[in-house]
Structure 1
Amino acid sequence: MSGPTGFWLVRPLPLPVKPFPRETEDSYLWRLSQTNKIPLQRLTSPSHWLLSQRDYVSRLSIVSGQPRASLLKAIPHLGMKKGDPGRPRQRGSYACRHCVARRTGSTHHSVWTWMSCHDQVCIPHRLWIGRAVDDPTRQLDLTEFPDIVEAQRRHYRLLRRHGHLVMDSCYQYGSDFWHSLFQRGYRLSDRAERLRQLSPVTREVRPFDPRRYVAVYPEIVEAISLFASPYWRSLALTDNETKFKEFRAEFNRRLPQERALRTTARAWFLAELKRTAMRIEAAVQHAHPEPDLGFVVRSESR
């Protein structure tokens, strides 16, 4: 959201509101209006009698009672228009409800923040804040699932080691890979046991239910670690059958099946392993193309 106009009633509101780290601009304006009991439309509406020469961020700083630097640090998109190349490529999601309560002093506020696809678990409070959470009340308690919390820690370690370029592609294509695998009958014992613990009354889990993603998250991270490794990814891409079998054996060792795939799905599984590695490699090479050395470089990923 950008500044609504050059006119603004530049006067501090009665109750200042601190921004939440990585909060979206719309979320912050909504909290500011709710705290001060002012309709959002009036908060952002122009004043026809007082002209301010200050820019949008400075005016918001005065109204909210917060330093300009604090607003810019906490709200990544503040003042940026949609399509601005400087806007971070992130998704919107509800912040951990316990973090919000600790920072705002209220259990009734919901805060919408910008997160990357690698933020799935609030480690301090052991809450699932990732995929399929469409309401803070659906942030699942992971106290009884230390392996899921540890998977998030490992996820962050992989991110520091390989960087966003590789990990963004690994997460996107790795998640798609697992979705396709489960549709074709691929079963993992640990995932099935987690689903039973998460749904003790009924085992029916809707397609877009947080429990479905929570149950398989450690396995997704395990697969990501394999595809993110340049060594293992090169074995998945090679046409050498012996080396490709080595990759398959490592995949099966790290992610053993509860039962074997159906005969019709086995060939698809092998092809999909290679296809997923090719997609990741293509995304990495597209962002960092190989230098032109004056001759054609053959790539096994093409």
Structure 2
Amino acid sequence: MPADRLAALSGIPERTLRYAILELCSAEELADMKIAGRPAPMYGVAVACHLCTLARGCQQEVIYRRQRENVICLRHRRWIGTATFGPSSSQLDLSRQPEILHAAKRHRRLIRRHGQERVNYYAYYDAERIWQQWPNKIAWDEGFYRRMRIFHGDGWSVAKDGATIHAAAYPQIIALTRLLASPYWRAAAPESLLRPRRFVAELRRTVAPAYFWFPERPYGHYEPLAAWINQELQEQNGPDLADYRDAEIIYRSGDLDGLDLHAYPLEQVMRRIGASEDRSRRLAAAIRSMATTQPRP
């Protein structure tokens, strides 16, 4: 329904309606409106906490657009992050889940520290996608199993897209979000591809103890975190993950010791070891980047 017609029917000014219902606006109108920090139109439709709406005398479900941090009603300790429509039982009781409640507060602290865009539209989005693509033996740590036992008891069996799966995973996803949102840890991620690095050690300590670093492509695809690091490498330095790994082997071998790597014709050396012209340039660029950022042992 057009905004002018809705305004005539409701008696609410058209400008007020446009700010309240962004879907009424065109892309040009949205560009001129002060809506920073609000959910994008048609994104994140969710059901408000049933206990909150009942307290205000509303007997029906209230549908609204939510930001990614609005997955828990902290007042009533309810999980509202899964887009389920139905009775209040679909909104999980978190009164016995302090880790999930703590993760919600941590999520908000990350936003205050790094900003809505960096946390929700980049770090949290990537963390959730990486966690979902990890195999269960990595993603489902002891904390995850403990939270699932609180929800279901021993011997539980739940579909992977179930609400309790999402809720039990939330603390891990926020822990990974912390790493991906931090400029320090984001810079540490692609620093070395040959051995467990600071980033991987911190990830095992705080997110997934069973994580195994594997920067190969056995089936034509990188492991999810390796794929993310590959993207970071390409944005920072240009080379692909495989190029960067091979460049690091050459750089740390000692064969280039004593050379001015920024002046020496590394491209010619790479050609002599069998690399194509394009790959020689990529390897040389990666080695020069390492010479600037990584002292050799």
Give the drift of 1:226: 0.8
Q: Secondary structure at the match of 2:46?
A: strand
Contact 2:139 2:208 in 1 (8 A): no
1:129 equivalent to 2:129? Answer no
Shift in alpha-carbon separation, 1:93–1:184, aligned structure 2, 3 A: same
Match of 1:197 among 128, 150, 157: 150
Distance in structure 1 (CA, Å) of the matches to 2:138 and 2:163: 20
Task: Give the Cα–Cα distance (whole angstroms) in 1 for the partners of residues 149 and 78 of structure 2.
Answer: 18
The change in CA–CA distance for 1:146 and 1:70 in structure 2 (over 3 A counts) is: farther
User: Partners of 2:140 and 2:215 in 1: how far apart?
Assistant: 15
Q: What is the distance in 2 between the residues matched to 1:228 and 1:195?
A: 27
RMSD: 3.4
Q: Provide the residue aligned with 1:253 in structure 2.
A: 205
Number of the residue aligned with 1:120: 71
118, 121, 125: which one aligns with 1:166: 118
- Deviation string 1:4-39 (CA, Å, 9 cap, x unpaired) is xxxxxxxxxxxxxxxxxxxxxxxxxxxxxxxxxxxx
Rounded to whole Å, the distance in 2 between the matches of 1:271 and 1:201 is 31
Structure 2 match to 1:77: 22
User: How far apart, in 2, do the equivalents of 1:281 and 1:142 lie?
Assistant: 39
Distance (Å, rounded) in 2 between the aligned partners of 1:187 and 1:120: 20
1:141-220 correspondence runs (5 A): 141-167=93-119, 168-183=121-136, 185-200=138-153, 202-220=155-173
Change (3 A) 1:70 1:175: same
| Counterpart residue identity of residue 164, structure 2 | R
1:96 corresponds to which of 35, 49, 52: 49
Partner Cα separation in structure 2 for residue 282 and residue 72 of structure 1: 40
Structure 1 residues 96, 186: closer, same or farther in 2, change over 3 A? closer
Residues 143-179 of structure 1, C-alpha deviations (whole Å, 9 max, x = no match): 1112211211110111122223322121222111111
Which residue identity is paired with 1:237? Answer: P
Structure 1 residue runs without a partner (length 5+): 4-54, 285-297
Q: Which amino acid aligns with 1:117?
A: R
Q: Which runs of 5+ in 2 are unaligned?
A: 32-38, 217-221, 237-284, 290-297
What TM-score, normalized by structure 1, do the two folds share? 0.63
* Aligned-partner Cα distance in 2 for 1:208–1:94: 17
Identity across the alignment (%): 26
CA contact (8 A) 1:166 1:280 kept: no
CA distance, structure 2, for counterparts of residue 274 and residue 122 of structure 1 = 34
The residue number in structure 1 matching 2:8 is: 59
Give 3-state SS (helix, strand or coil) of 2:146's partner: helix
Structure-2 change in CA distance of 1:72 and 1:83 (3 Å) = closer
Q: Which runs of 4+ in 1 moved over 6 A?
A: 67-70, 280-284
**Equivalent residue for 1:267?**
214
CA distance in 1, matches of 2:133, 2:125: 13
- Residue in 2 aligned with 1:291? none
The 3-state SS of whatever aligns with 1:113 is strand
The answer (yes or no) to whether the contact 1:95–1:112 under 8 Å persists in 2 is yes
CA contact under 8 A between 1:2 and 1:78: conserved in structure 2? no
Q: Counterpart in 1 of 2:261?
A: none
Tell me what 1:111 maps to: 62
